A and B are shown apart, each in its own frame.
Chain A
Amino acid sequence: MARKSRQVETRMIAEYLKANYPAFPQILNVPLGPVSEDLMRQEGYKRAIGMARPFRPMADALVILPNYFLLVEAKVWNVVNGLAKLPLYKSLVPHTPELKAYFPREVIMQLVVAWTNPSLEIMAREAGVSLKVYRPPWIEEVAESMHKYWTKEYRERRESVMKMREIVGLE
């Protein structure tokens, strides 16, 4: 069966950071929040961090700037989700043991979106989040295909492409 998923937001955040903050250390998919000190005592620091990983929230990225942590979420769809998460994630940064070496630093929040709108700008301002628009041509193509996704013509064309890929043995 051919693969159907696309890592749109993964590519978006990685490209955006590389283009805008190439000179600074950056962490992608960064787990946030405390790890039980009891667990650290029992299992050791590294093992406790690993064991706690599935239960910790994960931000898209954190850039370590000289005086700040830049906490970044990237969203193509569900942009309000990204915006809502940022202040909550921010509250966890000072409690994240992996970042201790970089304390103290203030946290600034940034939401990277492909499109913005007046409501989003108002909400971002209110939440103390800066909005950045990053829209390379490939994102426009993805959005266009999403808009067409449920049309009859697109479904038929897609099914015939998938069938052809199976016939010729492409994964």
Chain B
Amino acid sequence: MVLQNYVELSDGVPARMHFYDHAIVRKTITDPTTGKPSARNALVFDCDQVNGQEVETKFSTMSEKLAGLFQPYLADKSYVNYEFVVTASGEGFRRTFTLQAIPKR
């Protein structure tokens, strides 16, 4: 099993993950534009598989758009029945995400 703190997404490279729990946590970040601290909600998943490898890690996003795509899976934690492939592309405000939801067999 691989231990790592967080899954890092590389530009344009898909990451296939399986989640078993989640939380919405308040994070303070430094706004890259203003340099001032700013509080944001982050959707954090506990992740036990990345690209077919067993891991113990987290996947975290502050993108409201990506969190919105996960939203229907959160209330009933039905994400445990899926594997998700997340592909990020672009930087800053132009960052976009493709999300693939694959039912687990």
Contacts and interface: CB of A to CB of B under 8 A. Distances in A.
Specify whether A and B are partners.
Answer: yes
Interface stretch (A23-31, A104-112, A113-121): A23-31
Given A7-B64, A46-B12, A54-B90, A15 B99 contact: no
Contact of B101 (A11, A26, A31, A171): A26
B96 A53 contact: yes
Residue from the set B68, B70, B90 with the largest chain A CB neighbour count within 10 Å: B68
A50 B15 CA distance: 13
B40 interface: yes
Interface in B57-88: 64-65, 68-73, 78
Contacts of A26: 100-101
Given A46-B12, A51-B12, A54-B90, A11 B71 contact: yes
Contacts of A23: 103
A28 B69 contact: yes
Interface residues of B, number: 26
Interface residues of A, number: 28
Contacts of B68: 7, 10-11, 14
A31 B96 CA distance: 10
Contacts of A46: 12-13
Interface in A20-61: 22-31, 46-47, 49-51, 53-54, 58
23 contacts: A7-B68, A14-B69, A17-B101, A18-B78, A22-B78, A22-B103, A24-B103, A25-B100, A25-B101, A25-B103, A26-B100, A27-B99, A28-B69, A28-B98, A28-B101, A29-B98, A30-B98, A47-B12, A50-B13, A50-B89, A53-B89, A53-B90, A171-B40
Interface of B: 11-13, 38-40, 64-65, 68-73, 78, 89-90, 94, 96-103
Interface of A: 5, 7, 10-11, 14-15, 17-19, 22-31, 46-47, 49-51, 53-54, 58, 171
Closest 10 CB pairs of A and B: A50-B12, A10-B68, A18-B72, A7-B68, A53-B89, A28-B99, A27-B100, A15-B72, A25-B102, A29-B98
Given A28-B101, A171-B38, 18 more contacts: A5-B64, A7-B65, A7-B68, A10-B68, A14-B68, A14-B69, A17-B72, A22-B78, A26-B101, A27-B99, A28-B99, A29-B98, A29-B99, A31-B98, A46-B12, A58-B96, A171-B39, A171-B40
